[in-house]
Structure 1
Amino acid sequence: MIRFDCQLDRRDFRFRVAFEAETGITALFGPSGSGKSTAIRLLAGLEAAKEGRITLGDRVLLDTAKRVFIPPHRRRIGLVFQDAQLLPHLDIRANLTYGRFFTPRDERRIAFDPVVEVLGIGHLLSRQPDTLSGGERQRVAIGRALLASPHLLLMDEPLASLDAARKTEILPFIERLRDEFRVPIVYVSHAVEEVARLAARVIRLDNGAVTAAGSPAEVLAPVALASFADRFDAVSVLSAPIRRYLPEYGVTLLDHPAGEIVVPGLVPTGQGEVRVAIRATGVTLAVGRPAQVSVRTVLSGRITAIDRNESPFAMATLVLPGGQTLKAYATRLAFDALGLDIGDEVQALIKAATIDERSLAILPPA
């Protein structure tokens, strides 16, 4: 269990953040300048709080009231940044084992071979850092942090510098280290697909304060109409068991109570439910079930709220059979032309092409 409660003042920024996190991945989510990286630096001991207390399990890392401050090198916390920061004069094997030198031998509980296997980097051990791709360098950086046998792993925008293909490549490795090594992770990102896929708990920050905390479904769904430019960040998070996958089409069918959901990619059957992030701008509303359309995902729902302002857009909240909610953006013109109102039964159309496969999380069986 991580307990974090810190205050920090800069000339143009006030930081007042408190949260708790358990095993698994806790995501710090929010816009640039919201305080995500400041929280990471305070957790790592790289910056001092004006007032605060940080505990990791039964260890007190910081307590300003009692003048307790554990320095960074004694906190047993691993860090992974945007830049892998590998040592250029060492080969990959030496880079991986570098952090272990600072860990007492009797506390090295994470072995070399399992980490190399999970991260898929065995073939890179004799290579030099400058010969690796960006995704390979980040996997090595994660391995180096993990091999120090940390009590906590901090990941500050670890995929921000990678292109879409490399992000897709590395996300499964982060899931595997989360599931197989059971090290608690605090993961900083402003990418909603990463957060929806990886996190068990999300802490939303804005302007140095916590504005929401809970599951991805609770925190990522907008509670009000987003600003004109931010409407693309409005998402709903749905989960459903796998019905079957169609390898000939490269899609997986999910069995949601509101209707079948078609997602890109092949998700292995025999797993738990799949969690998927759906952008509100990617949902089309229809009155009655449409015929002869290319969209395969058609979900039945009832409108429980419509949020409007002076922008061209309005946002509907739909309750789906089974109790999950779905947000849908459309122009105010469309809402009025269709005569949509609270209580109406509608169909929500979702193109598979608008679903980012990086958002698909396989949840463990209950």
Structure 2
Amino acid sequence: MILDVDIGHVQGAFSLRARFQSDGKLTALFGPSGSGKTTIVGAIGGLVRFNHGRIVVQGQVLVDTKANVFVPKHKRRIGYVFQEGRLFPHLNVRQNLLFGRWFTPRHDRKTSFDHIVDLLGIGHLLERRPSTLSGGEKQRVAIGRALLADPQLLLMDEPLASLDEARKAEIYPYIERLRDEGEVPIVLVSHSVAEIARLATSIVVLSEGQVTASGPAFDILRHTHLFAQTGLAEAGALIDAQVLRHEDSFGLTVLQTKAGTLRVPHLTYPTGTGLRVRLRARDIMLSLQKPIGMSALNVLPGLISSIEYAEGPSVDVQLDCSGDHLVARVTRKSVEELGLKPGLPVHAIIKSIAFDPEALGAVKPQHM
């Protein structure tokens, strides 16, 4: 187990009671402001001393209030990346990176400087000062500095929150590389569904100081009631895909999934690239028969696995499409008129233009 957290903390009017475990390469702590995300990462990093509980990282007990164990933050080997890069302005990029080495005994320094520079694509920045870097470049350097301290865990507290969409798009691929190719597990704080859909392998959902759900990203994201705070438009399912081919004359890319092929607006990824695709519940319609004479290009057969009712007119219909689990948001009236029930075969209809580009990210190819 990479991370085992069981803590209780009261500070003023705020009360936190968080218990979860994660074995994911990138665990996202998700929730609105004030839900306890930053308090938890502060507790893991040793910046917050909580009232009672226990924290174990990669088998090492960092805190156990019952046993009176509290490892000081400078001995925890935890890397920390904040919203702002917090680079030293008087040092160039190379010097900022090497500063991380000071916190690790020489005999424990295993991470290659050249490997981190290559992984983060910052070789051309080494002689520049922080004042000349973009926001995305500063964050990549800050991540590199943290990694060169040879941490056993990397904490990232909303590292993209201060960046515009262009800078976010610049840094996403590097975080994906860290997740898929790096050897250091990551805990990422975020309040963006698209961000965690693109990056997370495990998700811990927080609300008002309580853990409301935790588990693999593919399981958590399709339970739309967990994300009611972000608006119904955000909820949906996550599936693996590979780039099958490009239909340049139509401006489309064809993706292969377990459920079948999907056509999406043209992507720049080469053939064979593994992708994570988020299909929003609001963008999926259901039909009892395979439709004909429709403009929608994507029709996936499946079986209804469950129907989740909530307050209001909407109902979430969970689908099993040959192993890919989707969710469609329909009205109660549609459920009644179509006679929708678990086990019923249906067809999911998805518009090509409905795909969420921000949540689309590269991963190591999976077997389809």
What's the TM-score once normalised by structure 2's chain length? 0.88
**Superposition pairs for residues 131-150 of structure 1, below 5 Å?**
131-150=132-151
Distance 1:36 1:263, change over 3 A: farther
Aligned twin of 2:157? 156
Percent of counterpart pairs with the same letter? 46
SS at match of 2:231: helix
Instruction: Report the alpha carbon displacement of residue 173 of structure 1 after superposing the two structures with TM.
Output: 0.5
Contact 2:46/2:73 (<8 A) preserved = yes
In 2, distance between residues paired with 1:205 and 1:175?
23
Is 1:269 aligned to 2:271, yes or no?
yes
Q: Which digits, 9 at most, give the CA deviation of each residue in 1:318-359, with x for residues without a partner? A: 4233133322224556666x6453265443222333322332
Is 1:207 matched up with 2:205?
no
Counterpart AA for 2:108: E
1:76-126: CA deviation from partner (whole Å, max 9, x where unpaired) = 111111111112222222222222122222222112111111111111122
Distance (Å, rounded) in 1 between the aligned partners of 2:224 and 2:351: 23
Deviates most, 293-302 or 8-17: 293-302
User: Is 1:176 matched up with 2:197?
Assistant: no
Write out aligned runs for 1:50-129 (5 A).
50-129=51-130
RMSD: 2.6
- Aligned letter for 2:324? Q
Q: How far apart are 1:295 and its partner, in Å?
A: 2.7
Contact 2:24 2:202 in 1 (8 A): no
SS of 2:220's equivalent in the other structure is helix
Tell me what 1:231 maps to. 232
Which residue is equivalent to 2:46?
45
Q: Is the 8 A contact 2:85 2:138 kept in 1?
A: yes
Pair 298,304 (structure 1): closer, same or farther in 2 beyond 3 Å: same
Q: CA distance change for structure 1 residues 247 and 137 in 2, over 3 Å: closer, same or farther?
A: farther
Q: Residues 175 and 229 from structure 1, CA distance in 2 versus in 1: closer, same or farther, beyond 3 angstroms? A: closer
Instruction: Tell me by how many angstroms 1:309 deviates.
Output: 5.2
Q: Residue in 2 aligned with 1:342?
A: 341
Q: 1:329 maps to what in 2?
A: 329
CA contact (8 A) 1:304 1:316 kept: no
Preserved CA contact (<8 Å) 1:245 1:267: no
Separation in 2 of the partners of 1:226 and 1:187?
Answer: 17
Shift of 1:153: 0.3
CA shift in 2, pair 1:134/1:352, >3 Å: farther
For the 8 Å contact 2:242–2:365, the answer to whether it is kept is no
Distance 1:221 1:252 in 2: 24
2:321 aligns to what SS in structure 1?
A: coil
Q: Is the 8 A contact 1:317 1:325 kept in 2?
A: no
Between the aligned partners of 1:225 and 1:7, the Cα distance in structure 2 is 22
Shift of 1:70: 1.3
1:27 and 2:19 matched? no
| Paired positions, count | 363
Partner Cα distance (1:6, 1:182) in 2: 27
Query: Is the Cα–Cα contact under 8 Å of residues 8 and 53 in structure 2 kept in the other structure?
Result: yes
**Pair 194,15 (structure 1): closer, same or farther in 2 beyond 3 Å:** same
- Alpha-carbon spacing, 1:240–1:333, altered in 2? closer, same or farther (3 Å): same
Q: Could you tell me which runs of 5 or more consecutive residues in structure 2 were left unpaired when the two chains were aligned.
A: none
In the alignment, the residues of structure 1 paired with residue 94 and residue 321 of structure 2 have an alpha-carbon distance, to the nearest angstrom, of 52
Check conservation: 2:256, 2:262, Cα contact below 8 A: yes
The one-letter code sitting in structure 1 at the alignment partner of 2:359 is S
- Describe the shift of the 1:319–1:188 C-alpha distance in structure 2 as closer, same or farther (beyond 3 A): same
Offset of 1:259 from its aligned partner? 3.5
Counterpart CA distance in 2 for 1:40 and 1:198 is 18
Which residue type is aligned with residue 316 of structure 1?
D
Does structure 1 retain, via aligned residues, the 8 Å contact 2:3–2:56?
yes
Q: Which moved more, 1:315-324 or 1:154-163?
A: 315-324
Work out whether residues 225 and 315 of structure 1, in 8 Å CA contact, stay in contact via their aligned partners in 2.
no
8 Å CA contact 2:180, 2:364 repeated in 1: no
Q: CA deviation at 1:365?
A: 3.9
Q: In 2, Cα distance between the equivalents of 1:257 and 1:108?
A: 42
1:185 has 2:186 as partner: yes
Matches within 5 A, 1:304-315: 304-308=305-309, 311=312, 313-315=313-315
Letter in 2 for 1:47: V
**TM-score, normalised with respect to structure 1:** 0.89
Secondary structure at 2:279's aligned position in 1?
strand
Q: Is the partner of 2:163 in helix, strand or coil?
A: coil
Deviation at 1:236, TM superposition (A): 1.0
